[in-house]
A and B are shown apart, each in its own frame.
Chain A
Amino acid sequence: MTEPQRDIRQAVRRRLARRHRAERRFQAYGVAALAAAGLFLVLLLGSIAIQSAPAITQHKLTLPVEITAELADPRGDLSEASLRRGSYNTLIQNALREQFPTVAERAELRELFGLYSGVNAARLLNRVASAPELVGGRVEFTFPISDDADLYLKGVTVRERIQPGLAPIAISAEDTDRWRLVSDTPVFAEILVETRQALSVEAAGLERRRDDAVERAEAARDEDARRAASATAERLDAQLQRLRIQAQPDQALQLGPTTKSVLVQVGDGVYRLTGIGADGASASAQRLIGEVSAGAVSDWRLWTVLTPPTARLISDRQIAWARALSDRGLVENGFNTILFTRADSREPELAGVLGAIIGSVLTMVITMLLAVPVGVGTAIYLEEYAPKNRLTDLIEVNINNLAAVPSIVFGLLGLAVFINLFGMPRSAPLTGGMVLALMTLPTVIISSRAALRAVPPSIREAALGVGASHTQAVFHHVLPMAMPGILTGSIIGLAQALGETAPLLMIGMVAFIADAPALGFGGFTDAATVMPVQIFLWSSGAERAFEARTAAAILVLLAMMLSFNAVAIYLRRRFERRW
């Protein structure tokens, strides 16, 4: 073999290898694209499923509530009117105070009553009003605990650590609200070290930000920016100095709202440390709950709430109370039935999706009744009847354009025409259903036309051949054959409408609806909301607990849409016919 030949051969081989590498690379791009799409899907559904977890169960508090006659029955005649004027919230409050008799101050009481929502009293009222013989006795009343306490008990919002006490401590009262905890060994030393470490990390961060601010002040071009930056730098510097003093190892440590809370649990009582001595063996404390006399105890627990009070919505006291109620067996974690049996509420623990589901059903009924007959009628006209003229051309162009019009524009149409021109009710399923019907119409028409076109002409010709009229051929032969396809397309269009939010925002279906609309004729004109809008409303809710409920509502919506699509797939599989 001569040299040049080998060169050519090698060159060809190299080129072939390069081309094959390019081939593999190209294929890898395709796989990567598919994998990316799949990854997004998994991420999306997975994150929502994980986020919804805290909303699946709910902590419910069961209290023995004394139905005292003077509070429940102000007129004293056990009549319904009198029972309905009773102050049931006070009854629940009294029951809660019974659990924690030492709580006396107004501010403390307010915190205690923050463990539940006063709305629950309405349920107690209804129960007593329907059974007046309960007055004067005790009833076991179960109600959801507040969302913050619920999330705390689930361990979602607050991180904590409970350790047994290392060595006996002596508790002595300094004055009315200050207690002193002293031990022989440095039982708090670990906390001291940890907190100082956290403080110095924070200090380092502050220092960096201060240096940044100083730099910015030096580099600033105009006076205003310079002044603003140097003010920031000064503020940060002051903070830094405070932190540094706190973090010094030979100083007593002050525990405040920005550091973690350290609680000491002794029997029924809970103390919160306000400061730890430099030796780590002594501390000053406040009593949060319980009645413990001074003295030495060996059986105690060190309870560290790692999330500082400023980073959570539940106070130290409420944590102590919630834990105590839970330890007493009064709190039970069960399936969150409220989510499925109630309408919306301002209190996350009492909010449910039932109202939105009913609103969605009513809206979908209107959409279906309007969009499917009109859409199928249009499709039949265009496919089977329409002469080829300008009008039908116009209709066709129109439908194709309508299919691409953003959904929000249909909302504008609904607002301008249905509500302002025709005076139809705002926020009502009737109006919403009509807007969604117009939006769904092109989808229904296009899929119905495809289904009609798929019926072979032989069917039509055979029908005409045996003497059927044109209308008879269409309605007796072509339409039944196209029905599975038409139904599938219609259901898919309705599923789209079920998930649509934007046009409904325009016609005021964003209202807060605390009562589920009636499932009947009256419900069509009542104010209502629908599932996607409920999700939108909850997602902007300030309370942390709404986040989980939003995710759970999304799962409910997806399940609804999935069942729609499952029906469509079933119809397609069952009745699909190939020619």
Chain B
Amino acid sequence: MQVSLYTALALLVLTAIGFLIGRRRALAAARSGQDGARERLHSLPNYHGYYIALWTGAPALILIALYGVLGSSLTNMLALGELERASAPLRASYEQALTSDDRLIALALQTREAEGEIVTVRAALAAAREDSDRAGSEAFSGRLTEALRARNDATAEAAARRAELAAALVAGPQGQSADARALAGFEYFTLPAERRELFISDARAFAFGEGLPSRDTPQIRATAQLLPGYQNIFRFSIAALALAGAVLALTLTRGRIHARFRARNRVERVVSVALLICSIIAILTTIGIVGSLLFESGRFFASIDWRVHEFLFGTQWSPQIGIRADQIGQTGAFGAVPLFAGTALIMVIAMFVAVPVGLFAAIFLSEYAGPTTRAWAKPALEVLAGIPTVVYGFFALLTVGPFLRDFALFLGYEDAVTQSALAAGLVMGVMIIPFVSSLSDDVINAVPQSLRDGSYAMGATKSETVRLVVMPAALPGIVGAVLLAVSRAVGETMIVVMAAGQGANLTANPLESVTTITVQIVMLLTGDQEFDSPKTLSAFALGLVLFVMTLCLNVLALHVVRRYREKYD
């Protein structure tokens, strides 16, 4: 870190020097025209400075940035390569021990048999389900469970046997004579994939003090001893390369400066390319979103055998996956309809609050209110819009929820709960009020005054003008605003996470607790997670649904506004 920092500082200094040199040379070139006459520079001296500075600083800084991103994994790779070489003899004899062990061979056979059985039984089970043959499918699922258990037992035993063999090898004469590095390499390469990362991060913890190591063994220490050496080689070579490159670029570009040199055009081209790159980041973000959602959803759907219709139209949502593969209900149920229904219920409640209040507030502010009222009301609405959603969630959870529950209990509804769709929906509606009102305000203000004046001239009252003239003219815009508000409500997370509950109830009763798409995404992705389980991946499928939904709503809103807007100019 220190070396990179100093290199970066040195580069900055070099860049500054490059700038000054460019300026000075340009000025000198201007003075040294023929016959002592001043020659006109093509570009201002500063542009010559920028030109040299760009060549000096930019490539070297990019190199350092790349090292910052990739450096640690390169170091790890080199250190592991060293471990691999050191442990080669040990691993060779381990492989030999594995292939010659009768027990393991038998177990492998068993596993293969069980897997074959699983495949056939799965097919039979699917067929039985197709035919809705209840007895048959029950029998097959029993057999499936047995086959799964047999396979798991066999693989677990094989793993235990392998560990046994490895331990025997390390304790044996070859292990005794091997050095710590070889042992470390052996341990690393016999670890299962998911434990390897932990091994490396423990070693890094010892080597560079990154966080706390989870355990302390001679093997990890040996790896830790290796790491700094490689890191130093890398660090210093990168630093030297960057500095050398900078100096080289400085000297080379310095020679190019002369009075006719078109420095400004070159610098300006770099600037415009940099600006283009900035704007491409927005596209990259969208590609990243769509790509990652599609990719991870694809993995999820693959893990549920592409039964996409079950995901979209199933009514059972219980994504818990058993810890053991043969546990009951281990496949989980991924029917997302309760989530869609919950989202819709809360959204409808929110709209019942937000649309009338927001719309009337907008009408009042744009048609009736005097400047003083506007001066007070607009900032108040802005404050309402600026409050973080987690604060609304807290309000819903601790004030609105209990109040509604007590009120429902008072009215004689016995099953009232604190976390209800109504509490979440009401508070979400409040959150969306300023959104609706500011969008509608804009739309209403865009209706030309001449329309109103015409209506007044016919003797209409203000409210009649608003209802019969302004509203129809502004309707497409208002519909667009409401659609945008719906999309906002669908994607809102914190209020529902805190106030709507987690139970996937399929209900239309606003006093029950429901769950939404966003709540489930949060539930599935917070806490301990293994990244490859269908449970975690299903969050991405939900995210994809959410993304598509909001995208459609936005496109629809835009379309409504464009298609039905009346042009008054």
Q: Which residues of A contact B (CB under 8 A)?
A: 19-20, 22-23, 25-27, 29-34, 36-38, 40-41, 43-44, 47-48, 51, 212, 373-375, 377-378, 380-382, 385-386, 392, 394-395, 398-402, 404-413, 415-417, 420-423, 438, 441-442, 445, 469-471, 475, 495-496, 498-502, 505-506, 508, 510, 521, 532-533, 535-536, 539-540, 547, 550-551, 554, 557-558, 561, 565
Contacts and interface: CB of A to CB of B under 8 A. Distances in A.
B275 A377 contact: yes
A76 B280 CA distance: 68
B245 to A, nearest CB: 24
Contacts of A395: 279-280, 282-283
A561 B282 contact: no
A377 B268 contact: no
Interface stretch (B101-109, B311-319, B377-385): B377-385
A402 B285 contact: yes
Interface stretch (B15-23, B137-145, B164-172, B389-397): B389-397
Interface string B437-451: 100000000000000
A495 B386 contact: yes
B283 A398 contact: yes
B289 A48 contact: no
B281 interface: yes
A469 B466 CA distance: 51
A25 B467 CA distance: 13
B30 to A, nearest CB: 18
A501 to B, nearest CB: 5
A407 B493 CA distance: 8
Interface stretch (B225-233, B236-244, B324-332, B538-546): B538-546
A441 B281 contact: yes
Which of B360, B367, B539 neighbours the largest number of chain A CB atoms within 10 Å of its CB?
B360
Contacts of A374: 278, 281
B461 A22 contact: yes
A20 B487 CA distance: 38
Nearest to A438: B285
Given A34-B365, A47-B399, A412 B271 contact: no
Contact of B394 (A373, A385, A411, A539): A539
Contact of B547 (A37, A405, A547): A405
Interface in B479-504: 484, 487-488, 490-494, 497-498
Given A405-B289, A412-B539, A536-B393, A51 B430 contact: no
Contacts of B387: 44, 499, 558
Interface string B397-413: 11100000000000000
B292 interface: yes
Contacts of A417: 288, 292
Contacts of B543: 408-409, 412
Contacts of B360: 29-30, 32-34
Given A401-B554, A412-B293, A561 B487 contact: no
Which of B391, B398, B547 neighbours the largest number of chain A CB atoms within 10 Å of its CB?
B391
Interface stretch (B52-60, B117-125, B179-187, B521-529): B521-529
B352 interface: no
Contact of A394 (B283, B391, B464): B283
B132 interface: no
Q: Give the contact-size bracket for chain B.
A: 35 or more
B493 A501 contact: yes
B466 A26 contact: yes
Contact of A37 (B277, B282, B289, B433): B433
Contacts of B283: 394-395, 398
B75 interface: no
A144 B477 CA distance: 57
A574 B221 CA distance: 60
B282 A413 contact: no
Contacts of B359: 33
Interface string B243-273: 0000000000000000000001000100110
Contact of A47 (B357, B395, B433, B491): B395
Contacts of A420: 531
Which of A27, A550, A561 neighbours the largest number of chain B CB atoms within 10 Å of its CB?
A27
Contacts of B467: 26
Contacts of A373: 278
